[in-house]
Chains A and B, each alone.
Chain A
Amino acid sequence: MANVSYRKERIDRGIKARTDDIFAIASLQETLYLLFPRLLLIVPLVVFPLLQGIIGAYWETVFLIALVVTLLALSWDLLASVGLVSLGQALFYGVGGYFTAFLSNYLGLPPLISIPLATVSGASVCTLLLYPVLRLRGVYFGLITFAIPLLLMRTIEATKILGGTEGISGLAPLPGLTVELYVMVAIAFVGVFGLRRLIDTDYGLVLRAIRDNDRSVEAGGINVPWYKAQAVFIAALPATFAGAFIAHHYQVVGMSAFALDYSVLPLTAVVIGGPGSFAGALLGAFVLVPLSETLRQFGTLRVVIYSVILLIFVVGLPEGIFRFAQRKYQQFERLVPMEEVAKE
């Protein structure tokens, strides 16, 4: 009988546990309980860049790409939290890349300045660009975001602006792979934990409410288009950063920055990892990117295997890896004493 009652209690406590967060760190056991899953995310990411000698530069680059997809996926997840389904994350990625290339090559700014500047100005421009279509819902917004990067790509190709098909090369270099990996890891952490916090605040709640029912939010005295625009700006930041950073990594940015891959991979990563959790974006990216690299040796069969894995997740585990793991962890570990159950 005891087993049955505390299992239910576990699931119900979700809301309260969150507000308890700060006060819960009373005992060592509680602290460890809260810390363990976070360490599980943090430690491997911090250790991996040190293993370059053992794993080799190839897998370190795969690791870097996984971090890029993580940032794009975080961006996707925040947009989805306000009900905007993006099929064009490549827009942010490409804009970040081209902006830093401009700042670096034409204005001669060092990466330390050009990357942050490109991140913020790129995000602003993307927000302005998307502002007119923010009122569109569901698939219509998706279609527009899908079309814009492709449109930009063809425009660059046809008009030969911004280096045309050649792209812009000769960007200032970054200090080396290890430093680059750590910067990206740090930004990914800031993204995951920052966004998890943000979405839990009253501000984040308003954003999620817009997804649920924007009419009621408007009737609540909230300027919905303005909040959506803010969300797009915040969501664009990690993605434009990724684009700018990688442009300096390769020291070149080209049309391929607007390629479909950068729109599809983040979306898929979130599906695998679990939407709405941000940690899922990270987990998903680190499952998806190494996987698709491994599958390269299977040639065309790769697509089949890839699709099957996607299908398994969409059908079999729609909540994603993160929420599944979280649920299991809380159910298994956090046994509540009987008097706490009785209190309800």
Chain B
Amino acid sequence: MKQQPILKVADLSKSFGGVHAVNGVGFELQPGETLGIIGPNGSGKSTLINLITGFVKPDSGKVIFRGQDITGAPPFKIVTSGIARSFQMARSFSSMPVYKNLIVPLYSARARKLKGGQYGDRDETAIHLLEEVGFERDSSVPYKLAGSLPHGYVKRLELARCLALDPEIIILDELFSGMSMSEVASILPLLERINEEGKTLIMVEHRLRELFRVVNRAIVLNFGTKIAEGTPEEVVAVQEVRDAYLGSETEDA
């Protein structure tokens, strides 16, 4: 018995010059599901996310969110409708204190409707969100300039920005890259909890063991094309996947 999918991506394509970064990729996602996107570097994972979230306009294909066509809509509109994302190349608002970074999403039309997004509550909400992603509340870190943060913290700040928007779908592009093992270990339970709360998760990740703790299904990209889809076990078993990607990656994972 299938519900109506929360997200439906159909035949998305995008070329940069001669490079087919994403080539006819499609998948469906049920509400509350968790999906992993894996594939070698340059296989089009980030581009696929950019296409879904409006940061890059597709050459062809459709993105349907809760039955609505959001293909090529401006990013802020897609965020407002309920899809938040993090960036692989995370950058903070370096000239302001860390917690003030979160005032920006909290000021958005979407967050202002939420509890804690109103004027006067935002600073407190921001501190609370930072705490949730593992910033120590009583330390001076939230009040430091964001430009001075180590990379792992910037990644967590990215996650906090997504949470500030209380989205229905969270898309995380290599959240774990640049994080230490212990940082990843401390974030994993949070991701599991977010999913238990009913949020749909899409994660691009190289660390398969950690990824498969969170997601129950994965698609594999290679040269912009989807070469496999299924449960973690199914995906890893496909020979083409092993050849294209896992052969080199699993050894050092």
Mark A residues whose CB is within 8 Å of B: 15-16, 202-203, 205-206, 208-209, 211-213, 215-224, 344
Contacts and interface: CB of A to CB of B under 8 A. Distances in A.
Contact of B105 (A15, A16, A220, A224): A220
Contact of A222 (B53, B107, B119, B140): B107
B143 A221 contact: no
Contacts of B85: 219
Contact of A219 (B79, B95, B107, B140): B79
Minimum-distance CB pairs A-B, first 9 = A221-B108, A220-B105, A221-B79, A212-B93, A220-B104, A209-B93, A218-B75, A209-B104, A223-B76
A205 B103 contact: yes
Contacts of A208: 93, 95-96
A219 B93 contact: no
A319 to B, nearest CB: 13
B143 A216 contact: no
A224 B76 contact: yes
Given A222-B76, A222-B107, 12 more contacts: A203-B107, A205-B96, A205-B103, A218-B55, A218-B76, A219-B75, A220-B104, A221-B84, A221-B109, A221-B110, A221-B111, A344-B140
A212 B119 contact: no
A198 to B, nearest CB: 14
Interface of B: 53, 55, 74-77, 79-80, 84-85, 87, 91-97, 100-101, 103-111, 119, 122, 140, 143, 161, 164-165
A197 to B, nearest CB: 15
A219 B161 contact: yes
A220 B108 contact: yes
Nearest to A217: B104
Nearest to B146: A212
B107 A206 contact: yes
B107 A205 contact: yes
A221 B93 contact: no
18 contacts: A203-B107, A205-B103, A205-B107, A209-B93, A211-B95, A212-B96, A216-B92, A217-B104, A218-B74, A218-B76, A219-B53, A219-B55, A219-B79, A219-B161, A221-B84, A221-B108, A221-B111, A222-B104
A16 B87 CA distance: 30
Contact of B104 (A15, A16, A206, A223): A206
A41 to B, nearest CB: 25
Nearest to A203: B107
B93 A215 contact: no
Contacts of A213: 91-94
The interface centre, meaning the residue of A15, A211, A212 with most chain B CB atoms within 10 A of its CB, is A212
Nearest to A225: B74
A212 B97 contact: no
Nearest to B123: A19
A131 to B, nearest CB: 15
Contacts of B74: 218, 223
Contacts of A344: 140
B83 to A, nearest CB: 10
